[in-house]
């Protein structure tokens, strides 16, 4: 069974800091890995998708890396802002009981607070 772990569970930093959020997964047979952001009481916003054959993806101030062999991904946030405050979720997609579509397995998230 796929287990996804995110460290740290919570992070509080002043504005302007560069941040690293960590995600690890137990089974390297994944199709892809996706990072999401969730604001309180809201749905999930997709930030970055990394296919299993890729090593990293970048979008603006965000950069995500994937090391499938070691079962790790990191999300790097440059020059953090108060508007970045949210819960960041990591999810891996892998095959499941013969299904070629698979499903997303989620970590519990990192709750980020960026204060002015």
| 8/29 Cα distance (integer angstroms) | 24
24 contacts other proteins (rule: CB under 8 A): no
Q: Least Å distance between CB 101 and other proteins?
A: 5
Interface characters, 74-113, with other proteins (x: CB under 8 A): ---------------x-x-x-xxx-xxxxxxxxxxx----
Size of the site for other proteins (CB under 8 A): 29
Shortest distance, position 16 Cβ to other proteins, whole Å = 30
Q: Is 49 in the site for other proteins (CB under 8 A)?
A: yes
What is the signed CA dihedral for 114, 9, 72, 84, rounded to 10 degrees? Answer: -20
For residue 9, what are the CA distances in angstroms to 30, 52, 66, 108?
23, 25, 20, 8
> Rounded CA gap, 33 and 31, in Å?
7
> Is 17 a residue that touches other proteins (CB under 8 A)?
no
At closest approach, how far in Å is the CB of 44 from other proteins? 4
CB 75 to other proteins: min, Å = 16
Reference 109, options 3, 38, 19, 12; nearest CA is: 38
User: Which residue shows structure tokens 């979720």?
Assistant: 89
- Chain residues in the site for other proteins (CB under 8 A): 31-32, 34, 36, 41-46, 49, 51, 89, 91, 93, 95-97, 99-109
């Amino acid at each position: 069974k796929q287990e996804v772990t995110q460290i740290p569970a919570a992070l509080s930093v002043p504005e302007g800091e560069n941040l690293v959020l960590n995600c690890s997964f137990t089974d390297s047979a994944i199709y892809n890995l996706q990072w999401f952001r969730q604001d309180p009481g809201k749905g999930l916003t997709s930030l970055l998708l990394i296919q299993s054959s890729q090593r990293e993806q970048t979008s603006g101030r965000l950069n995500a890396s994937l090391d499938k062999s070691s079962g790790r991904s990191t999300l790097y946030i440059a020059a953090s802002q108060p508007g970045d405050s949210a819960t960041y979720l990591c999810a891996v997609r892998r095959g499941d009981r013969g299904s070629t579509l698979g499903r997303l397995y989620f970590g519990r998230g990192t709750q980020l607070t960026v204060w002015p």
